[in-house]
Amino acid sequence: MTLQAEFQAVVLAAGKGSRMPEITSGKPKCLLPVGTKPLVWYPLYKLQQSGFTDVILVVLEQQKSEIQSVLDKTELEIKIEYFPISGKEDLGTADSLRMLHDRLKSDVLVVSCDLVSDVSLKGVLDVFRMHDASVASLFFHSQGGDGLVVPGPKSKHKPERDLVGIDVQTNRLVFLASASDFESELSLPRALLKKHTHIKMYSNLVDSHIYVLKNWVVKYLNSQQSFSTIKGELLPHIVKKQLSKPPKVTEGKSVLSNFDSEDIFNFAKEDEFSIAIRETSSFNDHSGDFRGTYHGDSIRCYAVVAPKDCYGVRVNTLPSYWTVNNKVNEKWDKITNGLSLALKHPKIENKSSQVDDKCVIWEGAKLNEKTSFKNSVIGSNTEVHSFSRVFNSIVMNNVTIKEKVALENCIVSDGATIESGCQIKGCLIGSNHTVPEQSEHSQEVLTDTDRLMEF
């Protein structure tokens, strides 16, 4: 039976990985290897587990064929519709959602490609359904730091912090901003505090970038050309609008003026039946003041905080990529709900005897004799010659590692070549870069310099 789907899932995989340019210069961010699967596989699998049968994947035009070939090899049952966007204009997440507006007929579940988590989507979806919310978002508690040494030059990785204000009684999201917008002080409107008397302000929550949006939000976005990112601009705007009242229709003025038709409250109008049901139902989401349910707001934004034992990481910076690779195989059962984990792909040529249990080896890798591997990821079609050792590293596809190379704590991007006799510790090696013979490097970025700057 073909009934209209309750939610349509959109996965945003057109990000350029601008926070970690050293490893994303030659490779789409969504295809970075995390354990045995590419990064974008994790949100897609989670959507599949939740019951979605198709998903729209937003990708960059030039990366589409690569992503498609990689995803076809993974055995995903979910039907993926690729939506290419041009990489020449600098399009944000909201821009890509705007371009999709005619395909989106129902409420939208927006997921970013870089989320690795074991959380269930039921919590945020049930809150969305229960309160007939306009926006529902999911937050994680921050995972403790591992103290792992991140490869590359030592730089203070300042994590981007979000300030999230949640009304304790009703779980409504009343304040959302990035901490970098404020220098030393944060001011809240008095009306907000009068309305929501008990607000908890968090600065250490990780925004999962899972947003459930009502259909009218997409239509509103289509009418406003000024928003370019969902998280940075669209959401804070809608959260602020919760506090405003719809403009009163004064008699004598024409209702069809341009300004009125673009007002958010025109889009967010609730139908009279919902209002009638709300009036007759003896439910109130808050108590303590003599106001009606939801204070009569037609725009309602909710924030769901995942339980503390949930694991959720956004893989958009180098330290998070490094830690997630370390932890993903431990958390595999929880993340995938019992999918079998095959660390070593069957089609590899493994002549090495010292490959430990934690190593992940992708298809077509060639490991010669007398090599030693500990806790590493070896990408597909990578060849490692004799007398080399790879410890604690991530080696991506089509890499050649010659003899007597010692690699420790490194990330080697696609197509690189490491000539014999190198001793490399804690470095980031860019794609298609050749590290000359007998070189020793520690905590550096080795790359062809013209790759880093992209205009």
Positions touching other proteins (CB under 8 A) are 1-7, 49-53, 106, 109, 120-122, 125-126, 129-132, 273-274, 276-277, 279-284, 287, 290-292
Q: What is the 3-state secondary structure (H, E, C) of the chain?
A: CCCCCCEEEEEECCCCCCCCHHHHCCCCHHHCEECCEECCHHHHHHHHHHCCCEEEEEEEHHHHHHHHHHHHHCCCCCEEEEEEECCCCCCCHHHHHHHCCCCCCCEEEEEECCEEECCCCHHHHHHHHHHCCCEEEEEEECCCCCCCCCCCCCCCCCCCCEEEEEECCCCEEEEEEEHHHCCCCCCCCHHHHHHCCCEEEECCEEEEEEEEECHHHHHHHHHCCCCCCHHHHHHHHHHHHCCCCCCCCCCCCCCCCHHHHCCHHHHCCCCHHHHHHHHHCCCCCCCCCCCCHHHHCCCCEEEEECCCCCCEEECCCHHHHHHHHHHCCCCHHHHHCCCCCCCECCCCEECCCEECCCCEECCCCEECCCCEEECCEECCCCEECCCCEEECCEECCCCEECCCCEEECCEECCCCEECCCCEEECCEECCCCEECCCCEEECCEECCHHHCCCC
Between 153 and 292, name the residue whose CB sits nearer to other proteins.
292
Q: How far is the CB of 55 from other proteins (least distance, A)?
A: 12
Q: How far is the CB of 274 from other proteins (least distance, A)?
A: 8
Between 127 and 367, name the residue whose CB sits nearer to other proteins.
127
Residue burial 386-398, b: 16+ Cβ < 10 Å; e: rest: ebbbbbbbbbbbb
Between 179 and 275, name the residue whose CB sits nearer to other proteins.
275
Q: How far is the CB of 129 from other proteins (least distance, A)?
A: 4
Q: How far is the CB of 4 from other proteins (least distance, A)?
A: 6
Between 132 and 233, name the residue whose CB sits nearer to other proteins.
132
Between 231 and 286, name the residue whose CB sits nearer to other proteins.
286
Strand pairing partners for 301?
135
Between 227 and 294, name the residue whose CB sits nearer to other proteins.
294
Q: How far is the CB of 204 from other proteins (least distance, A)?
A: 27
Between 276 and 339, name the residue whose CB sits nearer to other proteins.
276
Between 291 and 347, name the residue whose CB sits nearer to other proteins.
291
Q: How far is the CB of 131 from other proteins (least distance, A)?
A: 7
Q: How far is the CB of 171 from other proteins (least distance, A)?
A: 12
Handedness of CA 222, 231, 302, 3 (dihedral sign): positive
Do 212 and 125 touch, CB atoms closer than 8 A?
Answer: yes
Between 131 and 344, name the residue whose CB sits nearer to other proteins.
131
Q: How far is the CB of 271 from other proteins (least distance, A)?
A: 9
Q: How far is the CB of 300 from other proteins (least distance, A)?
A: 12
Q: How far is the CB of 30 from other proteins (least distance, A)?
A: 23
Give the residue among 405, 358, 403 at the shortest CA–CA distance from 378: 358
Between 106 and 439, name the residue whose CB sits nearer to other proteins.
106
